[in-house]
Every structure is written in structure tokens, then in C-alpha cells.
Structure 1
Amino acid sequence: MRFPWGSAEVADLPAVGTRIDTLAHVEGSPGARLRLIRAQGEAFRREFPSTGTPDSVVTCDLVTLPYPTRFGLFRASRALAPFLSITNRMLVIRWTENGTGRVLLFEPSDHELGRYTPYFDSLSQKTPALVERQVVRVHGTVLGHLARLGIKPEEVDYLMFDHLHTQDLRRWIGTTAHQRDLGGQPRAAFPNAKVIVQRDELAAMAELHPLQRPWYQPAAYRDVPPEAFLPIEGSVVLGPGVAVVKTPGHVFGNQSLVLNTSTGIWVSSENVIAAEALTPEHSKLPGLAKWTRSWQQEVVLNANTIETTADQYNSIILEKTLADRSQVDARFLQFFPSSELTGAWTNPGTGPTFAHRHLTHG
């Protein structure tokens, strides 16, 4: 699969944010990198509050859907249920920059088109409609939530995902050609928005590895306008209390959202699906605490592609180092999974010990 831009064109696209030198790329063995990443995380955690806080953060529920337990609670779960449920949520972040208001949508998934991701499309075709209606629950849409919040689509400056698994952006950023499956050439719902993405992920998507193919929709990017993307390399501060931190592993170009709020620092990504996956010693989910003790591991990954597992582990440790303790239950951290484990009667043994459900500030 080839994209409508070459490497030179991507390099020429404008940059965004202020580079975080504290979180520079580290070399060495996985163990050596882990030690350095902990130190970097502690340093940035001390620095980050000085950037300020955003004006507001609002959480919007999008869809709850099934996900394999063996992926979401990688190797650790002893639940009998082969599937668990995760709820995908969008964060709406607003801040003021030089007197101008900015709006960032984090995880604005077009779940109506996301269902055609190869893995989920295959799962849907094998699932009776009656069963699918029981396990898939739609809570709202991106545009519907924005209308409720009084935000016009043209006011949105940035779209951002921790990675582009399952994402189809054609309705959000428009296309340069007719789309047969959409019945025309969609105009951009967000005409002024740019998609913040790691350059590594764009490069990887240009020629997918077999481990990646079930989770991407590469054809959906064939006719998207390259100028809609803001590729970044590494970690940047976008605005007061708003940062993008590179966290490779789940995919090569994974990135996490870091926010400084009235309750301290929050981190959000899909590297894990539950806050207790960062402190599994406090988890009541069957198997997690025992497994991490037995294997001497301090986190439980969300691992479906296993692109670079050691890097993902190290990235989760960085997230764990950055996040403050929850003010609701100090055993758990202010890590907000972009797709959070959600209890369901259909999935015994997968109900979370603790869930954030929302992140609110301002």
C-alpha cells in the first residue's frame, strides 16, 4: 500500500509544538533503556506542571465493544471469558494560546467506519446479529458530542489518536477522489483540523507488516490529503498542560496524551486497558496479581500486534512514572485508558477492580 505522499513531502509538512528535550531518544539494550526512561520520566514529571493547565477537559463516551481477553490482559488473565468489553472515549481539550482558543480532539473515532477494520469486520461476520446487539453499545458520535458541547467543527484545531489502528479519517479530513463505499467524495467535517501523528507510524503504514495488517485500514488513506497531517518526531508540548509523549511499542509510532489538571498529571493511551494494569498488585481480576509476581513484571500490556513488546513495556513504565495517584483511590494512577475495560455480564471474570470512566478538568 502506497500513500499519496513521499518521504520528502512528509518531511516538508509543518511541525507543531515545542520539543521535549527531557524525553530524548535513548539507546542501548531494552533493560538499559528502561532505566534511562524511568529517569527521563521523573525529570519531565517535575518540569511539566510549569507549562500550566488547559482551560478544560471533557470526556465523551463513543462505543463499547468486545475485545479478546488474551490481547487486552496480555498473558495475565485467568478469566474464562474469551472476550472482555472496552469502552472507547473521546477527550475534548481546550486551551488558550496567545489569546487564541485551541481545541484538540483525542481519540475522535469514527466508529461507524472503524468497524470495517479487518479483525473487527471478520469478527462481526462470524457473530449473529442478536449477539452483536448485546455486546456492542453505541453511546454517541463525535459530531453529536461536539454539538452538545457547543463546539463547531470548524473550531477544531487538532485531531489526535494514540495510534491509527482501526481509524478511518476520510469523513473527518476529506478525500481527494470519489469514494465508492461512501457514495461520493466526502468534504472534511473538520476543515481546519490537522491530524497529529508520529512520523514513524506514517512510515510503517506505507508498507504494513503481517502482524499489523489485521488492525489497519490502509485503503482508507489512499486518497486523503497529506496536508491534513502534522507529523511529529518524539515528544512535544502542544499548549499549557498539554503534551504528546512518544510511547512506541503497541505500534511503532505510538504516542500518549499527557495533561496537567487540577488533580495533577494524567496520561492517556491504549497501551493498557485498565488503570490497575499499571499497579496489578492491587487488581482483583483473576490472575493479574499472581502472574505479575510470578513473572516479576510490574505492568500488564494491551498487546494485539506485539510489534516491539519490550518497547511497549518500557513505554508503559514511562506512563506510570508520569501519572499522579488517583484522588479517588490512591492505589491506582491517573492513567485514563483511551479504551477502558468495562464490566459486562457476558464476560465473567473481566470486571475492573477500579475504573475512571471520565476525565474532567476546568
Structure 2
Amino acid sequence: MNLAWLDTDVADMPTAGTPLGTLAGLHQVPGGFGARLKATRARAQAFRREFARTGTPDRVATCDLVTLPYPTRFGLYRASRSPAPFLAITNRMLVIRWHESDGRRRTLLFEPSDHELGRNTPYFAELARRSPRRLQPLLVREHGTVQAHLAGLGIAPDEVDYLMFDHLHTQDLRRWIGTSTPQRDVPGTLDPVFPHARVIVQRDELLAMTSLHPLQQPWYQPAAFETVRPEAFLAVDGAVLLGPGVAVVATPGHVFGNQSLVLNTSSGIWASSENAIAAECLTPELSALPGLAQWARRWRHEVVLNANTLESTADQYNSLILEKTLVDRSQADSRFLQFFPSSELTASWTSPGTRPTFTHGAIQHVR
């Protein structure tokens, strides 16, 4: 793969937001993973207090994109007793709008997946190849496109300032940000759908993409990044504040450069990522999913990870504890936390034993 632009440009790539030092260097705390976990809890409490004072965005809207199968052994790491080899997850986009102090309006799309091109991800392409074609419409349900959802919200493509993903697994951004040369596999021109948008990504993940490990390769589409416009990226390091009540927080583990979106809303603080696929995975002792409560009790685990690549399981565990500590309790059911999975466990008749105990379904906020 020719990702030479990543080798040469990432170090000097422009950044975004205002750095938030409270969480800096957590994954480098000396003393091992246990010491880092202890530091994570303490610093997360301090970050909560700091972040709550930044205000709230103007609006948060949630848009369903696609429901698709996902291995149960990945999504409910070692804990599930479901007989179903696959569960269902729904990928959703969050649309966040706010005003800068100088009055400029900003629009961020979190998880605006191009799920049509995402099917070329090696893992999902192989899964589709092995699935009977007549069953595929029963397993994959498309709910709407990114463009159609934005039109419904009255947002023009040229109003979008930022695109952000918790990590770049499965992502193909060519249609969103354009390419520097013509493409062979996508018809028509590849002028960017979002001409002013910049992609916010942890610098660590961009660097890791230049030399993927075999554990990573099934989940990335590096060829899709060969000819994208480098100037469309903004590299961040750790935690940054993007706007009032809108922050990016580094949560390494699921991938080397994983990141989470943190929002302060009218219902309190939320975090969103794919570190877990259900809110109950942060409180497994309350889960009615077969096996989760017993597994967490037996192994004294506070959380159940979404673990497909296992790049760094202990780091991912600590990152999910960070998210668990940052967020508030749900106003719909105070037993559960305001963790919003970017791909949320969804009940499906094809997956017995995987009906979630509780789902958020959406984050809705208007200031």
C-alpha cells in the first residue's frame, strides 16, 4: 500500500480544539495497568468537573444508518452464553452543532459511515462471501444515508465542519473528503461531498496505519486512504475541547489510536465509542443477557468489552472505565449510564439470547 503521505505529513499535520491536560499521559503512568487504572478513576473525576463547566452545544441529533451482524464472541467478549454466533448492532451517526465565542456555527458529524463502501472491509467482505445471498437482506438493514439524514435536519453538506470516528475500522472516506487522483472502483468524480469538512483523528492511529499488524489488517481499508486529500485531516493528541460541551478524549486499546466523543447535554454528560456495544456492558451486574452478570461476578470485571482485534485489552478496559467514570446516569433508567455505543446492540429474531436489557437508541438535545 502506498501511504507515503502519512509517513511525511502526520508529524506536521494541523490540529483542532483546545488541549485538555487533565487526562494527558494516562496510558504512560508507571507501575503497570493496575496503576494506570487507579490514575484513570481519579483523573476522570477531575475531568468531569472541568468539562461540565464548558457549557453545552446547541443541538445533538441521532441518525440510524445500518443494522448488521457482528460476532457475539467479539461484541460480548467471553461473557455471553447466547447460542447465536452473531448478534445485531446498529451503527448511528450523531450530529452536533454549536456556536464559537465569535458567533460562528460549527457542525460535527460523529460516525458518518459510508456503509456502502464499508462493506469492502476484509472481515465483512469475507463474511458476506460466506453468507447465502438470499439471507443477506434479512441480516443487513439500511435505515438511511448520511446525506439523506442531513437533508432531513436542514443541514447542507457545505455546512459540515468536522467528521469524526472513534477509530477508522471499516471506514472509506473517499466520497466524503475527495481524492487527489481519479478512482477505478467508484463511478463518477470524487469531489468531496463535504467540501469544508476536516477529519478529526488521533495522530497515533494515522501513524499506525502506515504499518498495520496482522491483527489489524482484517478491519482496515488502507487502500482507501492512498489518494485521499491529506489536507482534510486534523491530527489530535489526547483530549481536546472542540466547543462548548463537545470534547474528544483518547481511549486507546480497541485500536492504538481510539478516541471517544464526550458531550455535555441537558441530561448530563455522555460518552460515545465502540469500546462496548451496550450500555449494560458498563454495568454487567444489571444485565439480563445470558451469562454477562455471572461472568462479571466470577472474574470481578466491571465492564464487558467489545473486543475484536485485542490490540491492547488492558488499555481498552481502562479506557472503558474512563468513560464509565465520566458519564452521568440515564434519566430513562437510572440503573444505567449515559454511555452511547456508536454501534449499539439491537434485538433481532436471528440472534436469540442477545436482546439488550436496556437501550438508549438516541441522544437528543436542544439547548
Q: Which category describes the TM-score, using the shorter chain as reference length?
A: over 0.9
Q: Please state how far the C-alpha of 1:184 moved relative to its aligned partner.
A: 4.6
Alignment of 1:9 with 2:12, yes or no, is no
* Partners of 1:138 and 1:21 in 2: CA distance: 40
* Residue among 25, 32, 41 paired with 2:35: 32
TM-score by length of 2: 0.97
Q: Which residue of 2 aligns with 1:23?
A: 23
* Partners of 2:305 and 2:131 in 1: CA distance: 27
Runs of 5+ unmatched residues, structure 1: none
Q: Which residue of 1 aligns with 2:146?
A: 142
* Runs of 4+ deviating beyond 6 Å: none
Equivalent positions of 1:311-350 (< 5 A) are 311-350=315-354
Equivalent positions of 1:35-50 (< 5 A) are 35-50=38-53
Task: Name the aligned partner's letter for residue 326 of structure 1.
Answer: S
Computed over aligned residues only, the root mean square deviation of the Cα atoms, in angstroms, reads 0.8
Residues 64-116 of structure 1 show CA distances to partners (whole Å, capped at 9, x for unaligned) of 00000000000000000000000000000000002000000000000000011
Identity within the alignment, %: 69
* Partners of 1:235 and 1:76 in 2: CA distance: 31
Indicate if the aligned counterparts of 2:7 and 2:210 stay in contact, CA closer than 8 A.
no
Q: Which residue of 2 aligns with 1:52?
A: 55
Bigger Cα displacement from structure 2, 193-202 vs 175-184: 175-184
* Residue among 249, 262, 266 paired with 2:266: 262
Q: Please state how far the C-alpha of 1:185 moved relative to its aligned partner.
A: 4.1
Q: Which residue of 1 aligns with 2:72?
A: 69
Q: Which residue of 2 aligns with 1:195?
A: 199
Task: Name the aligned partner's letter for residue 15 of structure 2.
Answer: A
Q: Please state how far the C-alpha of 1:7 moved relative to its aligned partner.
A: 4.2
Indicate if the aligned counterparts of 1:176 and 1:185 stay in contact, CA closer than 8 A.
no
* Partners of 2:186 and 2:51 in 1: CA distance: 43
Q: Please state how far the C-alpha of 1:253 moved relative to its aligned partner.
A: 0.3
Task: Name the aligned partner's letter for residue 105 of structure 1.
Answer: L
TM-score by length of 1: 0.99
Q: Which residue of 1 aligns with 2:223?
A: 219
* Partners of 1:337 and 1:270 in 2: CA distance: 5
Q: Matched residue pairs, number?
A: 362
Bigger Cα displacement from structure 2, 41-50 vs 182-191: 182-191
Q: Which residue of 1 aligns with 2:94?
A: 91
Describe the SS at the equivalent of 1:267: strand
Q: Which residue of 1 aligns with 2:175?
A: 171
Indicate if the aligned counterparts of 2:170 and 2:221 stay in contact, CA closer than 8 A.
yes
Runs of 5+ unmatched residues, structure 2: none
* Partners of 1:259 and 1:8 in 2: CA distance: 33
Q: Please state how far the C-alpha of 1:135 moved relative to its aligned partner.
A: 1.0
Indicate if the aligned counterparts of 1:4 and 1:224 stay in contact, CA closer than 8 A.
no
Alignment of 1:122 with 2:140, yes or no, is no
Q: Please state how far the C-alpha of 1:12 moved relative to its aligned partner.
A: 2.0
Residues 20-39 of structure 1 show CA distances to partners (whole Å, capped at 9, x for unaligned) of 11111132200000000110
* Partners of 1:348 and 1:251 in 2: CA distance: 29
Describe the SS at the equivalent of 1:284: coil
Task: Name the aligned partner's letter for residue 36 of structure 1.
Answer: A
* Partners of 1:39 and 1:7 in 2: CA distance: 36
Q: Please state how far the C-alpha of 1:299 moved relative to its aligned partner.
A: 0.2
Alignment of 1:253 with 2:257, yes or no, is yes
Indicate if the aligned counterparts of 2:6 and 2:210 stay in contact, CA closer than 8 A.
no
Indicate if the aligned counterparts of 1:2 and 1:207 stay in contact, CA closer than 8 A.
no
* Partners of 2:182 and 2:259 in 1: CA distance: 31
Q: Please state how far the C-alpha of 1:128 moved relative to its aligned partner.
A: 1.3
Q: Please state how far the C-alpha of 1:2 moved relative to its aligned partner.
A: 3.6
* Partners of 1:163 and 1:2 in 2: CA distance: 20
Q: Which residue of 2 aligns with 1:238?
A: 242
* Partners of 2:151 and 2:44 in 1: CA distance: 37
